A and B are shown apart, each in its own frame.
Chain A
Amino acid sequence: MEKVPKMTARDLKELKEEKERIFEERLRFIDLYTDWLKKTPNRIWSKQHAEFLGK
């Protein structure tokens, strides 16, 4: 069985940077989504929203 990786300070720094990149990616997605929401009629976005949340 593969051993659990031993993390160095450099590895941990890399993980921290990855966490930050993932978070920024989430914020970019929020921007993309809100741009779409703002220009999309309510009947269209809310149909998808209701399907996603459950009718």
Chain B
Amino acid sequence: MEFEFSKNRIVFERELSYLDRLVIQFTRILDQTGVEYVIISGYIAILFGRSRNTEDVDLFMGEMPFGKFRRLWEKLEQEGFECINASGPQNAYEDYLKDQLAIRFAVKGTFEPNFEVKFPKTKYNRYSLNHKIEVILNKQKLMTSELELQIAFKLHLGSGKDFEDARHLYRIFGEKLNKELLQEHITELNVEKEAEKILWKKYQK
């Protein structure tokens, strides 16, 4: 795997999947409407080669007034997306986003994959949005969560799939990660035991 890595930026070129193209298309619309966002969770591992698929791509977007959200909704519809769990922009904004619930957008007429979008709720959600890294994939910009946080948070989530994602990212970026920052997240999220088993331990054949 070849990539250029600096503190807040990863640049690489590779063949794109349908999911990658969809993510690029969706996030371009967010950029065009001036919506701050960060991609979190499973897609980040997939972006960097993890061999699994996903039904949804999770994103936080910065809180915004209703007028701006309505413009985003209209632009997404113009570009071929539809919301699959809210009836209209007002319902989505008032009954979902303002209630800290996620809305889901998919290509019209489909259900998967979909984009699960919500406003940040917890301290860690807000941290993700405020500590983004820029991934330049085939000259297209994607904003993703800090890798150290992503790895520690996967340990916190705790399913088998999450643990595998955490080990994948840790082994791909190993030496390039900020070890102190990773340890800090592990301590704050109280996942030291999980880190021992999933990240540090060597499994012999």
Which residues of A come within 8 Å of B, CB atoms? 23-24, 26-28, 30-31, 33-35, 37-38, 40-43, 45-47, 49-50, 52-55
Contacts and interface: CB of A to CB of B under 8 A. Distances in A.
B160 A26 contact: yes
A49 B50 CA distance: 8
B15 A50 contact: yes
Given A53-B53, A55-B17, A40 B1 contact: yes
A27 B172 CA distance: 14
B159 to A, nearest CB: 11
A40 to B, nearest CB: 7
Contact of A46 (B15, B167, B205): B15
B2 to A, nearest CB: 5
A28 B171 contact: no
Given A34-B172, A38-B172, A27 B167 contact: yes
Contact of A42 (B1, B17, B53, B205): B1
Contacts of A26: 160, 164
B172 A37 contact: yes
Interface size class of B (residues with CB under 8 A): 20 to 34
Most central of B12, B15, B172 by chain A CB within 10 Å? B15
Contacts of A38: 1, 171-172
A28 B1 contact: no
Given A54-B18, A55-B17, A34 B164 contact: no
A37 B163 CA distance: 18
A17 B40 CA distance: 33
B7 interface: no
A13 B49 CA distance: 35
Contacts of A45: 1, 14, 49
Most central of A24, A27, A37, A55 by chain B CB within 10 Å? A27
A55 B19 CA distance: 8
Contacts of A23: 160, 163
B44 to A, nearest CB: 14
B164 A27 contact: yes
Contacts of A43: 14-15
Contacts of B13: 42
